[in-house]
Chains A and B, each alone.
Chain A
Amino acid sequence: EAQVTQNPRYLITVTGKKLTVTCSQNMNHEYMSWYRQDPGLGLRQIYYSMNVEVTDKGDVPEGYKVSRKEKRNFPLILESPSPNQTSLYFCASSLSRGNSGANVLTFGAGSRLTVL
C-alpha cells in the first residue's frame, strides 16, 4: 500500500531532550516536507526537500533540523525541544513538478508531540 509513515504517533517529552520524528514513504517520491499544525494558525511548513541531499527552509524552521540521506526517509530532528514546539506534526511527500515543486501531496497520519 502506498503510504507515508510517521513515528512516533504520540510523544510526551521534556524540555531539552533531543528527539527525532521519522518519516518514510514507499512511493519513490522526490519531494518531501514537514508541517506543524496549531489551533488558529493552520498548517505551516517547517522544511522541505526537493530530492536526496537537497533541503530548504519553510516558514517556521527555527528549532528544527532535517536530513535527506535517502530518497524514502526525511526525519525531523528537535535538538533541544521547548514547550512552544508542542504541536501536531505532519510529513508529506509527492512526485516533483520541477519549478512548481510539489505534485499531489500524500500526508502521513500525524505525530502529536507534547513538550513539558
Chain B
Amino acid sequence: GIQVEQSPPDLILQEGANSTLRCNFSDSVNNLQWFHQNPWGQLINLFYIPSGTKQNGRLSATTVATERYSLLYISSSQTTDSGVYFCAVVRRGSQGNLIFGKGTKLSVKP
C-alpha cells in the first residue's frame, strides 16, 4: 500500500518563529488533506490540497503531486498552534481509503 511519511516527528518553536512541515507519499494521489489535532484531541481540517498552493491566514500549503510531497508552512507561530499535524492521502485509483501519516508534534513556547 501507499506509504505516507511526515517530518520532522517533533518540533519545538519559540513563539513568532516560522516552520515547514513535510509530507512525502510513495504513490500517486488524488486527494491530500492536512489536519491539526489540538492538545484536547480535536481534529480540524486545515487544507484540502491534492495539488497547487493554498493559503489561510498564517498557514499555507503546497503540494507537488508529480514529486509526491506536500509542505505545510506556519508563519509567526503562536502557542495555539501547538498540537499534532497530520497529512492524509487517497491513492489514485482508490476512492475513500484515506491513509494518514504519523504526524508532526509541534510545541510552541511563549
User: Which A residues form the contact surface with B (CB < 8 A)?
Assistant: 31, 33, 35, 40-45, 48-50, 56, 58-59, 88, 90, 92, 97, 99-107, 109-110
Contacts and interface: CB of A to CB of B under 8 A. Distances in A.
A45 B90 contact: no
A61 B44 CA distance: 24
B45 A105 contact: yes
Interface of B: 1, 30-31, 33, 35, 41-45, 48, 50, 86, 88, 90, 94-103
Given A88-B41, A97-B31, A104 B98 contact: no
A100 to B, nearest CB: 4
Contact of A104 (B30, B48, B90): B48
B98 A45 contact: yes
Contact of A42 (B44, B45, B102): B102
B95 A99 contact: yes
B42 A45 contact: no
B46 to A, nearest CB: 9
Given A97-B31, A99-B30, A102-B90, A50 B48 contact: no
Contact of A45 (B31, B33, B48, B99): B99
